[in-house]
Amino acid sequence: MGITILMNRFSGSFQICLFWLATLATLGVLQLVGAGAGFHVGPSGEDFIWTFLLGMDAPVSVQKAFWEHDLRNPLNPWFYLLAQPLISSSASGLFFVRKLVDLFCGLAVYAAFRAVGGESYRGFATAAGFLAVVWNFSRIVGQTNWPMLAAAALGLLGVAAYVRFLDSERRQAHWLWVSLLLYLVALGAYSLNASFALAVPALAMLRRPEPMRLRWRLAALDFAPFASLFAIFYLIWNTTGEVPASALPTSVWACLSTAGKSIGYFLWDPVLFDLLREAWQSQSSGSLALLAGGAVVLGAGAYLTLRAFPPKVADKGGFVQLLAVAVAASLMIVVLESMMSPSYPVGGRSPTLQQIVVPLVLVVLIGWFPRVFPGLAAALVTFGALVGFCYNVRQVRWMVDLDRISAGLKMAVPVIRQPTMFVLLEPTVSLSPWLSDLFVKSLYRSVDVNLKLLIPGPTPTNWREYPDLVFGTDAEGLLAESTIGFPRLILRSAGPSAVPYSQVVLLRPGPNGLTRTYSLTAEELKGYRAAFRRADPLQLKAQSEPKAVPLESLSTWRLAGETTVGADGIRMAAMRASNLSLAETPIPLATNGEYEVVLEASASGPAAGFYVDFYGLDYDHAAQDHPVQGMRRERREFRFRIPAGAKTPNAAVVRLVNPSADSVTVHDVKVFRFD
């Protein structure tokens, strides 16, 4: 009785927030006790597209670069830009954003239930919110579906707003405007949310008591602005981008069969048992018991909470309306997948909606049999939490493997000083061969680097597809698709490239991770999609590393203008009038030398105009001025190649100049000489 009274004092949305915090706490405990789950989850899969775009000093803005690459979903990049401070805060920043989306999905599902059913549906609404929080697993690798899920949750909130408009006897027009705005954002962020608009006529027909003829007319009137928004969006998209073409099926029965499979992926995705089976095979009995224990704890908490809300539903018409909403939300995906188009494989798009549609449908089904509530709802929460923990175990395991690959790459080549093609002589499940380039570009924050993987398959007779590799003669080099040095942010080139072996780095798995190797034989490539078109074994030459040039400590640099030295480095204040902020220190230069300056700095803004160069008496060339682009509040590393020139000055200095309207803090400076 005491728990019942306590639970009734809190709103369902607050209880969902508490439950979400409980899931995070349980995940933290599982990490502490070594169950294989935890927060050590970073970007993977298509996440590398975004880490690459967000981390690069792009010649075009992030949103335009993504549109140039993807040609659809124009609002999607703005979700990433909004979340960028969290994403950049730590290696697991994107994972935390994904956890926030779990909460948002739970609150959106709860809001839809309450809007349709009112106070009598509070228990079911809370159960659906709990289930949405834990139903966060899918076949998608990484967290790349989080903007789509957030957009779908906005679409669901738009439906709830429309219900408020209906319940006001269509007098409170502001709820209709809110619904339209949310629908526009959901549509612009993910075009397959278009069918959310179909919930409008469905609810207008099912929810209102007017005569049937009047209901049809009012439903059409309400639907008109939503249909107009979709038509305008489609015209804009068709004008500025490329709408994917879908081949119509040759048979109606084939279409219906594929549609049934697509619906099945929504309600019972095979990934459920795949994750459970994978955990059973890879985890010890002790860690499995801990994962199950954590899921049971969450299920028990859900049961104790839901027990305070015994079902009191006299009219079950709300369940029909909620099913109509679920059908409307997923209809566009089902229709496109039923067309059997390569662009929309069966089950490929359902992860963008599952987290809101599945809890909605499952709790509606429970609502038809109130005697099984809240026991069955708590059991589903337990099951969803268990599968979610198994999914998290997979993410952590893959992240550990990516850390191993990253460490091996960085050990072999600490920085990218010339176009570089890594070849990893082992297959790995944690890294897709179609996304390995983006992974390594994000790692080094450079477009001048690529990573190719060996994957099982037939030996290619010539270069055919993206993963194929052909090791040619010393004169031919490595034949592979390459994006090295591509000036724009297109992530794929049009054809094969011959990479000279002087730019190739081979990595072989060893007992302590990856090690660099300089030899390769034809025997090592058997069974992989790689050809060895040379008579002798491949022997690469080791590259010499640059030599560090000694510099004075930052505390002893010569300063001018509004420049001071603090514990975190040299602080160069914003320019006042014509008073520039400068800092410099002597540097020994060689005639015709090639140097690299490594600068670690942060700024209060973009610091446009801030530059680094070499300077001395009768020695100052425009080619040596290197503007620092991409300054941000967080500390970042910048690298510049600077020629010394044919004439060596007697007293050269490396100089930093800040003529911008933003303050800059220089945390460290290093200089290397190439012989």
Cβ atoms 27, 19 nearer than 8 A: no
pLDDT surpassing 80 at residue 320: yes
CA distances (Å), 153 to each of 360, 407, 610, in order?
A: 12, 38, 43
Average pLDDT over every residue of 398-427? 90
- Highest averaged pLDDT of the listed ranges 1-10, 11-20, 209-218: 11-20
In angstroms, the Cα distances linking 82 to 62, 79, 86, 88, 188 are 12, 5, 9, 11, 15
Q: Would you state the pLDDT for residue 541?
A: 87
Q: b vs e for 234-263, b when ≥16 Cβ sit within 10 Å of the residue's Cβ?
A: eeebeeebeeeebeebeeeeebeebbeebb
Q: Which strand (E) or helix (H) includes residue 175?
A: helix 173-189
What does the pLDDT read at residue 202? 95
Q: What distance in Å separates the CA atoms of residue 152 and residue 595, rounded to the nearest whole number?
A: 51
Q: How far is CA 350 from CA 138, 353, 356, in A?
A: 9, 6, 11
Q: Does residue 665 register a pLDDT over 70?
A: yes
pTM: 0.85
- What is the tens place of the pLDDT at every residue in 445-472? 887 888 999 888 888 776 667 778 899 9
Helix (H) / strand (E) element for 52: namely: helix 47-55
pLDDT tens digit string along 215-263? 899 999 999 999 999 999 999 988 887 777 665 555 666 677 788 888 8
Q: What is the structure's pLDDT at 4?
A: 47
Q: What backbone phi and psi angles, to 5 degrees, belong to 194? A: -55, -35
At the fourth CATH level, the homologous superfamily of domain 547-674 is Galactose-binding domain-like (2.60.120.260)
Q: Is 374 exposed, middle or buried (0-12, 13-18, 19+ CB in 10 A)?
A: buried
Q: How far apart are CA 469 and CA 466, in angstroms?
A: 8
464-473 burial code (b ≥16 CB/10 A, e <16): eeebbbbbbe
Give the pair of three-digit tokens for residue 583: 């800092």
**CA 395 and chain centroid, separation:** 13
The pLDDT tens digits for 327-367 are 999 999 988 888 766 667 788 888 999 999 999 999 999 99
**Mean per-residue pLDDT, 139-154:** 92
Write down the mean pLDDT value for the chain: 86
The tally of CA atoms less than 13 A away on the side-chain side of residue 156 is 37
Give the lowest-confidence range in 2-11, 224-233, 269-278.
2-11
pLDDT of residue 275 exceeding 60, the answer is: yes
Helix (H) or strand (E) holding 385: helix 375-412
Evaluate if residue 80 carries a pLDDT over 70.
Answer: yes
pLDDT digits (tens, 9 = 90+) for 487-521: 444 444 445 678 899 899 999 987 778 899 999 99
Domain boundaries, the chain: 2-397, 413-539, 547-674
pLDDT confidence of residue 487: 42
Query: In this predicted structure, what is the pLDDT of residue 621?
Result: 66
> What's the CA gap between 197 and 183, in Å, rounded?
7
Per-residue confidence (pLDDT) for residue 486, from 0 to 100:
38
Instruction: Return the minimum-mean-pLDDT range out of 6-15, 312-321, 427-436.
Output: 6-15
309: which residues sit within 8 A by CB, 6+ positions away? 7, 8, 122, 123, 126, 374
pLDDT of residue 316: 81
The pLDDT value given to residue 393: 94
- CB neighbours of 665 closer than 8 A, spacing ≥ 6? 566, 568, 569, 570, 571, 572, 601, 602, 603
Q: Which residue has the higher pLDDT, 183 or 527?
A: 183
Q: Whose structure tokens read 């439906």?
A: 159
**Region 632-642: what's the mean pLDDT?**
83
Q: How far is CA 521 from the centre of its chain?
A: 38
Q: Are 394 and 419 in contact (CB under 8 A)?
A: no
For the chain, the first-to-last Cα distance in angstroms comes to 81
